């Protein structure tokens, strides 16, 4: 059954509810864990090359080493940057998968397989990478031109005059365009996967073109839809986190009636194995950053001897925690998909879900 769109803000308003889908959270959480794994491997490898004490760093940040380190050599810097780009690509593939599931639902296929979405997202890696590289290549080309122009300014006597005369036209105008393209590149990290997901063909140029067209022709609509998706996603993911928190509490308390105190001790040991004091956990377990509306897991952590089952239980709790962030990102991807469908209608008069 095809879901009828109103082609107004009401369609985007339903994004948190539409994102609260097991298959969407599943695919987004999967790619989120892949992104974290890539980031951890490359970050800690970069720290090894940089000569850092890994035990000290791991004791402080565990699996969330998001602290800004000062890498002392170019090799460690390159390794870290490659890890960051790999993580971002994984998140974008998650956005693509969620967008594909939502778009197929808008077309009427409510039973579109999440595993098929994962398979197609892998096949579209080339499209997304080439699209992003296309934007980056333009920026690097402009940087190269400015470096050449800087060398020209070294010419005795006339060099300073050449730089001054060309400062506004064309240098300043080109810089304005380049800064705008750089902004589009940042925006494309969340918009381009949605644009690519609604395309039947693997076309990087068309994805870039539609991304630019969306921001240039409908900037305020896109900004409004995106702002709503982020704010609503954060709030409703906190609501989901709170229900997860109470559900785990309920499971532990009721099980301890029959299993005794060892169930509670097992749970507390498992919590102590997790990075419960990290900034990422604090962000996830509060409604909004900087507000006191939230909860903490630190009071449940008890250090001591750990049974092997505690490590497995810690992994289970961690996976539940990952689905909270997965739901948050899924809401953003869903709002981007619905927002793009609306914007395409407003700017081109074209109803994408109506195509065969």
| Band of pLDDT at residue 166, cut at 50, 70 and 90 | confident
pLDDT > 70? residue 290: yes
Confidence label for 356 from pLDDT (cuts 50, 70 and 90): low
Q: What is the rounded CA–CA span in Å between residue 185 and residue 230?
A: 18
- 251 located within any domain: no
Number of domains in the chain: 1
d(CA 97, CA 112): 11
Helix (H, G, I), strand (E, B) or coil at 202: coil
Which residue range(s) make up the domain with 208?
9-233+327-354
pTM: 0.92
Of the ranges 6-10, 150-154, 193-197, 198-202, which is most confident?
193-197
- The span from the CA of 154 to the CA of 65, in Å, is 44
The pLDDT of residue 245 is 93
Judged against a pLDDT cut of 80, whether residue 334 lies above it is answered with yes
Percent of the chain with pLDDT over 70: 98
Look at residue 202 and tell me if it is in a domain: yes
Q: Which two tokens stand for residue 252?
A: 């532990």
Count the residues in the chain.
Answer: 356
Residue 210 lies in a domain: yes
Angle at which helices 204-217 and 308-348 cross, to 10° = 70
Q: What's the confidence (pLDDT) of residue 225?
A: 97
**What values do phi and psi take at 307, rounded to 5?**
-75, 155
Classify residue 162: in a domain, yes or no: yes
Q: Give domain status of residue 115, yes or no.
A: yes
CA 210 to chain centre: 20
Residue 108 has a pLDDT of 87
pLDDT in tens, 231-271: 999 999 999 999 999 999 999 999 988 887 888 888 888 88
* Alpha carbon distance, N-terminus to C-terminus of the chain: 15
Q: What is the dihedral of CA 212, 213, 219, 223, to 10 degrees?
A: -60
**How far apart, in whole angstroms, are the C-alpha atoms of residue 88 and residue 201?**
23
pLDDT at 116: 95
Residue 322 to residue 122: CA distance in whole angstroms? 21
Please determine, for residue 111, whether its predicted confidence score (pLDDT) is greater than 70. yes
Asked if the model's pLDDT at residue 169 lies above 90, the reply is no
Residue 312, domain member (yes or no): no
In a domain, 136, yes or no: yes
* pLDDT tens-digit map of 176-231: 999 999 999 999 999 999 999 998 888 899 999 999 999 999 999 999 999 999 99
Query: Both tokens of residue 247?
Result: 């559900």
306: in domain: no
Q: Which of 341, 276, 330 is nearest to 91 (CA)?
A: 330
Mean per-residue pLDDT over the chain, rounded: 90
Mean pLDDT for 58-66 is 76
The answer to whether residue 39 scores a pLDDT higher than 90 is yes
Report the pLDDT value the prediction gives residue 229, as an integer from 0 to 100: 97
pLDDT recorded at residue 50: 86
Note if the bond before 170 is cis, omega within 30 degrees.
Answer: yes
**What 8-state DSSP symbol labels residue 277?**
T
Instruction: Give the span between the Cα atoms of 304 and 349, in whole angstroms.
Output: 64
């Amino acid at each position: 059954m095809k879901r009828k769109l109103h082609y107004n803000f009401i369609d985007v308003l339903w994004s948190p509810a539409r994102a609260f889908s097991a298959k969407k959270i599943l695919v987004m959480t999967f790619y989120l864990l892949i992104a974290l794994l890539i980031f951890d491997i490359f970050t800690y490898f970069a720290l090894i090359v940089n000569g850092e004490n890994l035990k000290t760093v791991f004791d402080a940040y565990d699996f969330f080493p998001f602290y800004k380190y000062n890498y002392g050599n170019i090799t460690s810097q390159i390794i870290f940057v490659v890890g960051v780009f790999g993580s971002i690509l994984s998140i974008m593939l998650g956005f693509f998968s969620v967008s594909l599931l939502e778009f197929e639902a808008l077309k009427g296929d409510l039973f579109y397989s999440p595993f098929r979405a994962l398979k197609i997202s892998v096949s579209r890696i080339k499209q997304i990478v080439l699209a992003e590289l296309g934007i980056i290549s333009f920026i690097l080309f402009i940087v190269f031109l400015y470096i050449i122009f800087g060398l020209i300014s070294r010419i005795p006597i006339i060099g300073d005059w050449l730089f001054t005369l060309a400062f506004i036209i064309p240098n300043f105008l080109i810089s304005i365009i380049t800064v705008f393209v750089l902004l589009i590149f940042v925006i494309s990290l969340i918009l381009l996967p949605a644009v690519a997901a609604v395309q039947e063909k693997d076309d990087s140029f068309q994805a870039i073109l539609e991304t630019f067209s969306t921001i240039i022709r409908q900037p305020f609509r896109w900004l409004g839809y995106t702002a709503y998706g982020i704010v609503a996603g954060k709030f409703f993911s906190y609501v989901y986190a709170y229900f997860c928190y109470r559900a785990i509490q309920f499971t532990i308390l009721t099980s301890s009636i029959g299993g005794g105190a060892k169930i509670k001790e097992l749970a507390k040991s498992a919590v102590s194995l997790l990075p419960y004091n990290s900034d990422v956990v604090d962000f996830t377990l509060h409604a909004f950053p900087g507000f006191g509306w939230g909860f903490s897991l630190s009071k449940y952590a008890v250090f001591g001897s750990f049974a092997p089952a505690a490590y497995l239980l810690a992994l289970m709790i961690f996976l539940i925690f990952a689905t909270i962030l997965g739901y948050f990102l899924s809401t953003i991807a869903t709002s981007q998909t619905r927002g793009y469908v609306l914007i395409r209608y407003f700017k081109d008069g074209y109803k994408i879900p109506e195509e065969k």
